[in-house]
Amino acid sequence: MIHAQLDVELCGRLADSCGPSLRLTIPENGLPVTAMLASLARAYPAVSDALGRIRIRACINETIVSEEAVVRPGDTVALFPPVSGG
Amino acid sequence: MQVELAQASFDPALRLSDFTAALGDEGAVVSFTGRARGQSRGGGPMSALVLESYRGVTLQSMQVIAGDAHSMFAITASLVIHRAGRIVPSEAIVFVATASRHRRAAFEAADYLMDRLKTEAVFWKREEHGGSSTWIEPTAKDREDAMRWHERKE
């Protein structure tokens, strides 16, 4: 299977443990958000605690998406912890 | 309807004056300014509040909220300004102004805008104190305030 690199931006407190961006290798035909979160947790044990503890929303190309959405190479991907308003 | 994400400090009084000057025959104008306090939630002194936003998503979340306010209330104009970045005590964090023919709609729309901005606008907020900082979690009270409008809508 051909793989591609994907940079995932971490927002808010998610960036505390590993910085604001993490690189992940994903299949060229993409993978669902839930699988991407699992891959991130495996690749970066320091963020796995935060990913499992708080409700995370994924954002693909500036749209907040469901957990079933598929992340593809070239997408702009970010993970949001709960927002804390103004 | 005008919605702005401000990266630098702004003058709420000036913005209210401009907003009011552009109105027609509205009989009511309501505004609210949320300011950064000098005391942290833990009670100690706070040097700054830092609001992180995300690309176009933050502004889009504010626009959705303002659009809903126009659908729900008989307001004729609104202005929403939200700061991002580092905000020092006494600076404005958020400003809303609404105008309507009669007062009730303007009051309620401003209240509604603030409740939803507090809980749904895409910002992550932390307090800086001394050399450290603390992330602010959404509070149950903020969620309760926002829920009042969901109940009313149903």
Mean pLDDT per 10-residue section of chain A, whose length is 86 residues: 90 92 94 94 89 89 96 96 81
What is the predicted pLDDT for the residue at A14?
93
Q: Residue B34: its pLDDT value, please?
A: 97
Residue B124 has a pLDDT of 96
- For chain B, give percent helix, strand, coil, nearest 5: 40, 35, 30
ipTM of the complex: 0.91
B19, pLDDT greater than 70: yes
Mapped onto helix, strand or coil, the DSSP state of residue B43 is: coil
In a domain, A75, yes or no: yes
- With CB atoms and an 8 Å threshold, state whether A80 touches B122: yes
Domain that holds residue A40: 3-80
Inter-chain CB proximity B55 and A62 less than 8 Å:
yes
Q: Which residue of B has its CA nearest to A10?
A: B54
B138 pLDDT band, cuts 50/70/90, is: confident
CB-CB neighbours of B120 under 10 Å: 18
**What residues of chain A lie within 8 A of the CB of B60, using their CB?**
62
When divided into structural domains, chain B yields a total of: 1
Q: What was the pLDDT predicted at A49? A: 84
Looking at the 3D structure of chain A, how many domains does it have? 1
pLDDT more than 70, % of chain B: 99
pTM, rounded to two decimals: 0.92
Torsion, Cα A69 A73 A74 A79, to 10 degrees, reads 50
So what's the pLDDT on residue B153? 65
pLDDT for B59-97, tens place per residue? 999 999 999 999 999 999 999 999 999 999 999 999 999
Can you state the angle between helices A45-53 and A33-43, rounded to 10 degrees?
140
- A13 CB neighbours in chain B (<8 A) are 124, 135
pLDDT at A40: 94
A48: tokens are 């796995």
Q: How far apart are CA B127 and CA B143, in angstroms?
A: 20
For residues B34 and B123, what is the distance between their CA atoms, to the nearest angstrom?
15
Is residue A68 classed as helix, strand or coil in its secondary structure? coil
Strands A70-71 and A31-32 come out as antiparallel
Tell me the CATH number at A24: 3.10.20.30
Give the whole-angstrom CA distance, residue B144 versus residue B154.
Answer: 16
Q: Is the pLDDT of residue B20 over 60?
A: yes
User: Cα(first)–Cα(last) distance of chain B, in Å?
Assistant: 25
> Where residue B44 falls among pLDDT bands split at 50, 70, 90?
confident
Residues 6+ apart with CB under 8 A from A54: A81, A82
Q: Is B70 helix (H, G, I), strand (E, B) or coil?
A: helix
pLDDT band at B118 (very low <50, low <70, confident <90, very high): very high
**How far is the C-alpha of A42 from the C-alpha of A48, rounded, in Å?**
7
Give CA torsion, residues A3, A6, A47, A52, to 10 deg: -80
Please determine, for residue B107, whether its predicted confidence score (pLDDT) is greater than 60. yes
Are B52 and A12 in contact (CB < 8 Å)? yes
Question: CATH number for the domain including B61?
Answer: 3.90.1170.40
Provide the chain A residues 19-58 that lie in CB contact (below 8 A) with chain B.
none
Question: Is A45 contained in some domain?
Answer: yes
- B110 three-state secondary structure: helix
Tell me the sheet residues that pair with B30. B98
Domain assignment present for A85: no
Residues 59-78 of A with CB under 8 A from B: 59, 62-64, 76, 78
Coil, strand, or helix at residue B12?
helix
Count Cβ–Cβ pairs < 8 Å, chain A vs chain B.
Answer: 59
Note whether residue A47 is domain-resident. Answer: yes
